[in-house]
Amino acid sequence: MKMNAKFKLMMAVLLTAMLLVIAACGGAAKDNNNGNAPGAGNGGAAVEQGEAAPASEYPLKIKDDTGTELTFEQAPSKVVTLVPSETEIMYALGGADLVAGVDAYSNYPEEAAAKPKVGDMTTNIEAVVALTPDLVLASSSMNTAAVEKLRELGIPVFASDPLTYDATIEKIEKVGHIVNKNEEAAEVASHMRETKQQVVNAVKDAQKKTVYLEFSVGWTVGSGTFLDELVSLAGGTNIAAATPSWHEVNAEEVVKQNPQIIIFPALKEEPNPIKAAIESRPGWDTIDALKNKQLFTVTEDPLVRVGPRLADGLLELAKAIHPDLVK
């Protein structure tokens, strides 16, 4: 399977676009803050637990993950999202009425599917322009060409590519700051941080279990990705971490590593092609995970979209890896 096909599966089912979203997710870990954390240097203020988040002050200057500085004279009123994670962020912030258009894979929440479409893996630039947005939210890794073209046309694009759980939270806070949804962003961020702490506390004394991930037939995910980080947070050790980013499965190496647990996404296809591939590979019947029936399916979208539901994905991973400790 070629990487483009993998991307499409990730995005369609979505993302394992993950990094994202994915293999846009893949890549070496990096600092996504650009020295411009929410509430610092961009007209905002740090918010303590229980405090009301201050309103954004305009004109507002903020940098995205490409290092591009954007200036907003007022809160955006027409937002177009080019990947599902950004759509989910806008809805989680209570900004459904601001969303003027979405990509073809935006399916959550359900009402997002009714919004005008602006393309799939390839952005329809004319469709975006026709909506006259004053903000486009994009992935700097998956929408590279579209970001460049839209900026040439003078359309403000906030492009991001968070590769960690915390960087995803910070992105949400930044988007909230741009659209003056600071209170809502603070609530989403608080929930995500609390979920992470819940998981970390639950597994902190547990022996780490070896885990193998396969989110597209024949492909696994290594270091420098947020899926690798999530496995670690959930009390596991990713056996593919020695190789960075998304890469093709080395079947013999997986047998050698002998993972205790194998995790793959639940798909609409029956039989699940990933499960079928795992169970049919020569020699894999000797792997502990298969011998002990420790194969688990997880909901794909929350784990391959760098948005609010990443918290749900982390919790589901933790339940699969340490079901006795995480309820």
- Cα–Cα distance, 271 to 5 (Å, whole number): 20
The percentage of residues in the chain with a pLDDT greater than 90, rounded to a whole number, is: 78
User: CA 154, 149, 22 angle in degrees (round to 5)?
Assistant: 120
Over residues 90-115, the pLDDT tens digits come to 999 999 999 999 999 999 999 999 99
pTM: 0.84
* pLDDT score of 4: 43
Helix ranges (DSSP H) in 264-309: 273-280, 288-291, 300-304
Tokens, residue 158: 């906030």
- Summarised one tens digit per residue, pLDDT across range 3-49 is 444 443 443 333 334 333 333 333 333 333 333 333 333 333 345 55
DSSP helix/strand/coil, 89:
helix
Residue 53's pLDDT band (cuts 50, 70, 90): confident
**Pairing between β-strand 99-101 and β-strand 79-81 as defined by DSSP bridges:** parallel
Q: Tell me the domains of the chain and their CATH numbers.
A: 42-194 (3.40.50.1980), 202-321 (3.40.50.1980)
Query: What are 157's two structure tokens?
Result: 């694009």
Better-scored residue on pLDDT, 118 or 327: 118
- Residues 206-223 have a mean pLDDT of 95
Task: Work out the mean pLDDT of the chain and round it to a whole number.
Answer: 87
How far out from the chain centre does Cα 132 lie? Answer: 27
Q: Residues 140-154: pLDDT tens digits?
A: 999 999 999 999 999
